[in-house]
Structure 1
Amino acid sequence: MTDSGTEGGPADFAGRTLCPGGGSGALLVLSEPLSFWGGTDRKTGLIIDAHHPQHGGSLAGRVLVMDASRGSSSSSSVLAEQIRAGVGPAAVLLTARDAIVALGALAAAELYGTHVPVVLLDAGASSRLGRRNGVTATVRAGADGRAGVVLDQAPAAGLPPRSREPA
């Protein structure tokens, strides 16, 4: 899917802005929802929920892909603090509206001047992005509501090549 309406040219995925900004990093596609409050370490950005499939993974500088978050409204303050400390995601891509995640990114933008985009994609986007886990994504989310995600063709530096899935 492409969208020539985003600044910088065509996008591999088009979406709607929940929080404006721009960011780039390796995709981290979560297979289950995550609570920032209790599920991540606010000082390191690591996933500490022992029952989460991506336990031990780092959010820091990654483009986080998940359907929605799980849990407490306090997650917004944890996300804002992670963004301030430089251990939060570079961008968040959701497939369901999530006011808690958007509020955390908006609070970080307002309080700390750090603009981490939060983008709403269509319902099937996370499974399509899951096949590209580890690839560098650049996210642009405009104040006009239009957003786009552009993917590199190769995995981000320092990450193993993505596995090939059967067609």
Structure 2
Amino acid sequence: MHRLGGVRPRRPRRKPVGRLVTGVSGRALVLDEPLSLWGGMDPTTGELIDAHHPQRGARLTGRVVVMPSGRGSSSSASVLAEAVRARTAPAAILLGEPDLILAIGSAVAEELYGVAVPIVVLPADRLAAIRDGTALLIGRDGSVKTA
């Protein structure tokens, strides 16, 4: 076997490709409890289907979903990406703490379909100040303003 002097051949570097995420807007849907998209959202309709969630039956499509955190299941990433494909995804998701699974779902959707769902983490006091139905504008820098 031919050795390369202990140096592995380098893979060609891919030039990073990115999209400028433009601002999105929508009416706030403030959830009383965290939600797992896996088993909690029907990606074909955008409906909240978790039988135990207080807002079962609400539509997430085009809304700015506001919740303290996500709730488990790594499969939530695939549900979010599928909702983007089906055009039933929320306009954005505002959280009180980071959620890697939702961020991955948004990144996968952007890679596959060219659309990312903005995921923004806000301090608890700012999150609590958002009222259900409030028109919100999410800037490309992650800023959140009332529209």
> The TM-score by the shorter chain falls in which range?
0.7 to 0.9
- Retained in 2: the 8 A contact 1:66–1:94? yes
In structure 2, the partner of 1:66 is: 67
Q: Is 2:93 aligned against 1:98?
A: no
Which TM-score applies when normalising by structure 1?
0.72
The 2-side partners of 1:34 and 1:80 are apart by 16
Q: CA deviation at 1:115?
A: 2.3
- Retained in 2: the 8 A contact 1:22–1:91? no
In structure 2, the partner of 1:126 is: 127
- Report which of the two structures shows the higher radius of gyration computed on alpha carbons: 2
Cα pair distance change 1:110/1:21, threshold 3 Å: farther
Q: CA deviation at 1:136?
A: 1.1
Higher normalized contact order (CA 8 Å, seq sep 6+, divided by chain length): 1
In structure 2, the partner of 1:157 is: none
Q: What is the aligned-residue RMSD (CA, Å)? A: 1.2
Structure 1: stretches of 5+ with no match in the other structure: 1-19, 153-167
Q: Is 2:25 aligned against 1:30?
A: no
Q: CA deviation at 1:118?
A: 0.9
**DSSP-derived class of the 2:124 partner:** coil
Q: CA deviation at 1:84?
A: 1.6
Aligned-residue sequence identity (percent) comes to: 51
Greater strand content: 1
The 1-side partners of 2:140 and 2:122 are apart by 11
Letter in 2 for 1:148: S
Cα pair distance change 1:57/1:70, threshold 3 Å: same
Q: CA deviation at 1:21?
A: 4.9
Q: Is 2:140 aligned against 1:148?
A: no
Q: Is 2:86 aligned against 1:85?
A: yes
Q: CA deviation at 1:68?
A: 1.1
- Retained in 2: the 8 A contact 1:118–1:141? no
In structure 2, the partner of 1:113 is: 114
The 2-side partners of 1:100 and 1:106 are apart by 10
The 2-side partners of 1:124 and 1:54 are apart by 22
The 1-side partners of 2:40 and 2:22 are apart by 25
Structure 2: stretches of 5+ with no match in the other structure: 1-20
